Structure 1
Amino acid sequence: MKIFDTEGNEITNPDIEKGELAYESLRVIHTWVIDVEERTHEKVIAEYPNGGKDVEIVIDVEERGHWETRDEEGNVVDFDGIIPDDMPHENPVEDVWGFRRYRVYTEEELEEIAQQKAEAEAAAVKKAEREAFLEEAPERMDDAEMAMGELGVMAASSAASIEDLMVAVAELGALVAGE
């Protein structure tokens, strides 16, 4: 399938990072153009007494030609589709030709695409961090429950000082926060 820019020039290697491809179609008409006329002669097979003859037409030079494709305005197009070999040459054949059109992004569109990529990457990093946090959550909860139990034992025994209890509460907070 051919690729054209917005001016109608053919492109072989468009940069997809800097532009986009869109599918377009165009109504075209294929016409058989004769390059070499067919030449024939008659060969008499039988002659009759009343003057009648049976003849055979012998082709000396076969007709040769090519298909020419034009759009509806009559402009010749460089058609890259397939025209079947058995297509009749007598009448023009209407067809729809599909091709792609390459359009270069504007600076604003490139900035927007870069911003969307950055946002998608940031979201992927955030998702990975969240998944890692959730994988560690059961282990952290077990540690937090043990620390709360120890804190309760320390509080129940009058041997613990206020400083010891505050240090234990700070450690418990850090454990729950995942630090």
Structure 2
Amino acid sequence: MKTKKNPLLSILVGWNILLTAFLAYTYICKDKTTATERLDIVDKNDTPLLSLSNPEHFPDPIIDGKTHKRAVSPSGMVFFNEDGNEVGGMAFSKRDSASLNAFVLDYSNADAIGMLVQEDKGAGSHRAAIQINDKGEKLGEGAHRISLQNENGTAGLFIMDRKGNVVIELSVDSVGKPTLLLPR
């Protein structure tokens, strides 16, 4: 008696062989890394919550459900709230000899608090800062109000008015000379 070959059975046997080979490979090989250009974490409704990305696939900011053009394309991570709006992130970017690494938490329409590190090896300059911004009315309008920073060896606290003008500066330069400025 001749038996007929069942194509479905052949496919299942093939998938079982591939699955067994994959499982054996992952058990034998200790390297457990996965590479991707972008990883999005979403909720059950596909609303973004977190995105990890390289510069080519870094997401543009979403504010009030609208996507806006990002000024730079860093690698890093973006945080979103339950409505899918950007609320902060970490970014790492480099252009020519200059690099910028930042951790930012946002208001609903602009940066609120940021920690950043900037280096320009070509110019020989560096800066590390914590910045606090005021919330503006329009997108990206928030005024820079407080900066605690070390720039090229000068450490200082700078407090600005709502227009961004320095009102109080307390600093110590790279050779130890202190400065207290009250420009008004």
TM-score, structure 1 as length reference? 0.22
**Rg comparison, structure with higher value:** 1
Higher RCO (Cα < 8 Å, 6 or more apart):
1
| Structure with more strand by fraction | 2
TM-score, structure 2 as length reference? 0.22
| Structure with more helix by fraction | 1
